[in-house]
Amino acid sequence: MTDVTTRRLDLAGTRGFATPGAGPARRRALAEFGFSWLQEIWREACAGRRHQGVALAAVGSLARGDGGPLSDYDLVLVHHPRGLAGKEVSAFADRLWYPIWDAGVRLDHSVRTVADCRAVASEDLSAAIGLLDLTHVAGDADVVNAARSTVAHDWRANARTRLPELEEGVTTRHVRLGDLAHLIEPDLKEARGGLRDMSVLRALTEAWLTDRPHGAVDEAYEMILDVRDAIHVVTGRGRDRLTRDDQDACAALLGYGDADDLLTDLSAAARTVAYATDGTLRRALQSQRARTLRVGPRRPQLVPLGYGLYRHDGEAVLGPSADVASDPVIPLRAAVVAARNGLPLSPTTMRNLATHSPQLPEPWPEVARDVFADLLATGPGLVTVWEGLDLAGVVERWIPEWAAVRSRPQRNAVHRHTVDRHLVETVVTASGMVRDVARPDLLVLAALLHDIGKVPGALDHSRTGAKITDAILRRIGIGEGDRAVVVRLVSEHLTLIDLATRRDPEDPATIVALSEAVGGSVMTLDLLRALTEADASAAGAKAWSDWRAGLVERLYRACRAALIAANGAESLTVVEPLEPLPLAPAVLEQVAVGAAHVTVVSLGGAHRIDIIDRDRAGLFADTAGLLAAHGFVVRSAIVRTLDGLAVNEWWVDSPGGEIPLPDILARDLTRVGRGDRSPLGALQRRRTSRAVRSPGSGAPDSTRAMVISSASDTATVIEVRAADRPGLLQDIGITLARASLAVRSAHIATYAGQTLDTFYVTEFGGARLAPARAAQAVAMIIDTCDAG
């Protein structure tokens, strides 16, 4: 090992790696040594002569002063054309480069005029970013200053054309090299959230279009640099990749108890840098568009998204009417709106939500639980929104236990993500299966929490996770029955795939073992089947192959058939019709003269609307359409008909913040009942203007509808599972009316953005439907729902 290399390692070693805050001092010392040594080489190369218009400059980590113990030197010999002649410049450069090579220092070198620097920067984006850091080392400082100022001027002047190129390059690099925060053997320099992204942040600020975040980002950067320095010392090489073989040694050098703790902190730092890079690049593009599209001030282009949120320049922002300080549900609503529209929450909105929104009470109000399930079912848009909320500290306010799994590594060849990211990816995968289960809200909750037990010291993460899950769900306010199902799913989330791959799927003992694991419940078995696939698919290709999928499906089908045979149950979502409550004489008199009676009770952001009216064909469709026309989202409903009187209970949410007015609803419903369809006109406008789900997001659109033959002896029971949308219930009601069917009772529920509706229908004479009529009704409902 050469004296120079030894000296660099000695300087690094004397700056206490395990001492907090020692990294910057270590890197400053290394940079000062490098500059001093290069200046000595310069003096020897000059041999006492003073070369006018020639200078040695540094770029890269040496120029920035953040190089590691064995980082290479990126040097540029900058000269004026009227200075040394071409051959003289080459000979002088050789006198500089050879001593550096002889010392064993890795060197990236070039010889350029100021014009050359400008030309290279204009042609090569990477070179342009590097030359923005051009720093004088020795010689004529004026020629270095001229080169740096020229490149910086061109960078700012050409930002309009270069920013899209920069964005494309960053995206391509991230796709190729992956996410530093979730890699088992990360490249600290090139991966997403690594050192290269910090160079991008500096380049964006040099364009004068935006500033970059500081504080936490700077701390994260120093953390990554510390790990890079440790790699150099441990390996004796200028590497940037943290391999498994070196993780324990690096952790010990940096003062960590084990490598997992090191990887956790490194992952958190990389996430901070990655999120800052995404946001800063987005704001730079916004600023660039603002400059080029219009000169002078312009009004912000705000597109309403609901619940006080607006789309602005590719982000979701809170409007002035949002009551952040008094509504603890607003962060959940904002997250749902942003994720459904494939938008990130703006940094200002994120800070506002994190700083000013109150803590949710314990237990959570029902509306908060519903919105949380909606958030988990939003699909791929959840990833970016959840990441932002987590970095802002909002997720930990909802689920304090999340802190224990945040950025936790999984040093397992099957897994490709950290524990927390795997949980989110599992939720996203599960959101595509919500139509396969009776309770999609329980599925996404189980997906979010199934590995919450992967905490330090846990011997069996499934059992540990079940206990943690029970505590979380109690705090949220999940009912005892539903909580027991989710806890069982977390506890048994590996049982199905273990039995399917390690036991004979057709052996009765295997089927009994699985039946006991799901508590003899068909619904729980369906949920476990979906969770198993979501978990394995999110882990990676090694965890969910066609072979594994086939074995799981065989065991699942065999167990489901056995449970149905034993219990005689086809669906656990069917509920028997409820008898209407006794009504006051004044209400009966009002309805008798053809006027609807409406009362409204608002509770915790949700509204219960009780509607009493004379039963008639199409009443269900008209009521659902009218509520949608007024901008309300139906969460659940119980529709009952007895002796010609409809007594209906609707629970609705209000994206626009309006409170349902009973007099207006009663008036409009009476008008519609008398043939005036104008109150429903607003629904069509809402249908056409509603936000379009981003491509590839959320669950598939195919509807599931079936007849539950054993549910009733006096009516035909049809169960419908579909993605919720404005006017869906009205469309189904119209379809049933067109089929000349009477809705004796309807039980409407919305879970995680999916409707689970059960209709008790009869012929107008009160008879059950013949098989052919029932099949026709099911087909019509499916066509209606899928048509959108």
- Does 129 fall in a domain? yes
What pLDDT, on the 0 to 100 scale, is given for residue 591?
Answer: 74
Among 67-71, 386-390, 564-568, 747-751, the least confident range: 564-568
CA distance 420 to 423: 5
More confident call, 336 vs 654 = 336
* Domain end point (choices 140, 157, 174): 157
**Judgement on whether residues 137 and 167 belong to the same structural domain of the protein:** no
Strands (E), 48-134: 54-59, 73-79, 107-113
- Domain that residue 24 falls in: 3-157
**Judgement on whether residues 649 and 754 belong to the same structural domain of the protein:** yes
Q: Above 70 in pLDDT, residue 308?
A: yes
- Could you give the dihedral angle defined by the CA atoms of residues 664, 668, 671 and 675, in that order, rounded to the nearest 10 degrees? 180
What pLDDT, on the 0 to 100 scale, is given for residue 331?
Answer: 93
DSSP 111-153: EEEHHHHHHHHHH-HHHHHHHTT-EEEEE-HHHHHHHHHHHHH
- Does 115 fall in a domain? yes
**Torsional class of 142: left (φ above 0), alpha (ψ -120 to 50), beta (otherwise):** alpha
CB atoms within 10 A of CB 757: 25
User: In whole angstroms, how large is the CA radius of gyration of the chain?
Assistant: 33
Alpha carbon of residue 477 to chain centroid: 24
DSSP 324-347: TTT-TTHHHHHHHHHHHTT-PBPH
Q: Above 50 in pLDDT, residue 776?
A: yes
**What's the pLDDT band for 697 if we cut at 50, 70, 90?**
very low
More confident call, 720 vs 545 = 720
- Does 275 fall in a domain? yes
- The two beta strands, 107-113 and 73-79, are parallel
Residues contacting 582, CB < 8 A, separation 6+: none
| 3-state SS, residue 442 | helix
Q: Look-up: residue for tokens 């491509």? A: 695
Q: Above 60 in pLDDT, residue 228?
A: yes
Give the global pTM: 0.78
Which residues partner with 345 through β-bridges? 316
Average pLDDT over residues 89-117: 88
Average pLDDT over residues 258-272: 90
pLDDT single digits (tens) 10-37 = 777 766 777 777 888 888 888 898 899 9
Say if residue 726 is preceded by a cis peptide, omega within 30 of 0: no
What pLDDT, on the 0 to 100 scale, is given for residue 625?
Answer: 86
- Does 456 fall in a domain? no
Task: Give percent above pLDDT 70 in the chain.
Answer: 91
Average pLDDT over residues 575-581: 52
Q: Encoding tokens for residue 468?
A: 């943690």
Average pLDDT over residues 61-75: 90
The amino acid occupying position 437 is V
**What's the pLDDT band for 403 if we cut at 50, 70, 90?**
very high
Total domain count, the chain: 3
**What's the pLDDT band for 708 if we cut at 50, 70, 90?**
confident
**Contact between 414 and 540 (Cβ < 8 Å):** yes
pLDDT single digits (tens) 201-223 = 988 888 877 778 788 899 999 99
Q: ∠324-326-330 over CA atoms, to 5°?
A: 45
**Judgement on whether residues 42 and 177 belong to the same structural domain of the protein:** no
**Judgement on whether residues 187 and 120 belong to the same structural domain of the protein:** no
**Contact between 67 and 29 (Cβ < 8 Å):** no
Task: Give percent above pLDDT 90 in the chain.
Answer: 29
**Contact between 344 and 387 (Cβ < 8 Å):** no
More confident call, 290 vs 476 = 476
**Judgement on whether residues 29 and 165 belong to the same structural domain of the protein:** no
Output the domain CATH number for residue 77: 3.30.460.10
**Judgement on whether residues 654 and 771 belong to the same structural domain of the protein:** yes
* Domain end point (choices 110, 130, 157): 157
What pLDDT, on the 0 to 100 scale, is given for residue 293?
Answer: 47
Average pLDDT over residues 357-383: 91
**What's the pLDDT band for 360 if we cut at 50, 70, 90?**
very high
**What's the pLDDT band for 291 if we cut at 50, 70, 90?**
low
**Judgement on whether residues 150 and 177 belong to the same structural domain of the protein:** no
What pLDDT, on the 0 to 100 scale, is given for residue 383?
Answer: 92
Q: Above 70 in pLDDT, residue 86?
A: no
**Judgement on whether residues 173 and 133 belong to the same structural domain of the protein:** no
Q: Look-up: residue for tokens 């006080």? A: 308
Among 61-65, 85-89, 498-502, the least confident range: 85-89
Output the domain CATH number for residue 219: 1.20.120.330
**Judgement on whether residues 631 and 717 belong to the same structural domain of the protein:** yes
**Contact between 204 and 210 (Cβ < 8 Å):** yes
The amino acid occupying position 188 is L
| 3-state SS, residue 56 | strand
For the chain, give the mean pLDDT: 85
What pLDDT, on the 0 to 100 scale, is given for residue 413?
Answer: 62
Minimal CA–CA distance to 501: which of 443, 561, 562, 550? 550
**Judgement on whether residues 170 and 152 belong to the same structural domain of the protein:** no
Q: How far is CA 10 from CA 253, 321, 443, 647, 749, in A?
A: 14, 60, 56, 84, 68
CA distance 485 to 471: 14
What pLDDT, on the 0 to 100 scale, is given for residue 196?
Answer: 92
Average pLDDT over residues 51-66: 88
More confident call, 158 vs 227 = 227
Q: Above 60 in pLDDT, residue 574?
A: no
Q: Above 60 in pLDDT, residue 698?
A: no
Minimal CA–CA distance to 517: which of 497, 546, 538, 541? 497
**Judgement on whether residues 114 and 255 belong to the same structural domain of the protein:** no
pLDDT single digits (tens) 407-452 = 888 866 666 788 999 999 999 999 888 888 888 999 999 999 999 9
Q: Above 50 in pLDDT, residue 692?
A: no
- Does 572 fall in a domain? no
Q: Give the range with max mean pLDDT: 296-300, 516-520, 646-650.
A: 516-520
Q: Above 70 in pLDDT, residue 270?
A: yes
What pLDDT, on the 0 to 100 scale, is given for residue 684?
Answer: 66
* Domain end point (choices 133, 157, 181): 157
What pLDDT, on the 0 to 100 scale, is given for residue 1?
Answer: 47
DSSP 602-670: EETTEEEEEEEEE--TTHHHHHHHHHHHTT-EEEEEEEEEETTEEEEEEEEE-TT-PPP-HHHHHHHHH
**Judgement on whether residues 188 and 265 belong to the same structural domain of the protein:** yes
What pLDDT, on the 0 to 100 scale, is given for residue 604?
Answer: 64
What pLDDT, on the 0 to 100 scale, is given for residue 700?
Answer: 46
Q: Encoding tokens for residue 45?
A: 């190369």
pLDDT single digits (tens) 106-157 = 889 999 889 889 899 888 888 888 888 999 999 888 899 999 999 999 888 8
**What's the pLDDT band for 471 if we cut at 50, 70, 90?**
very high
What pLDDT, on the 0 to 100 scale, is given for residue 598?
Answer: 87
Element (H, E) at 597: strand 597-603
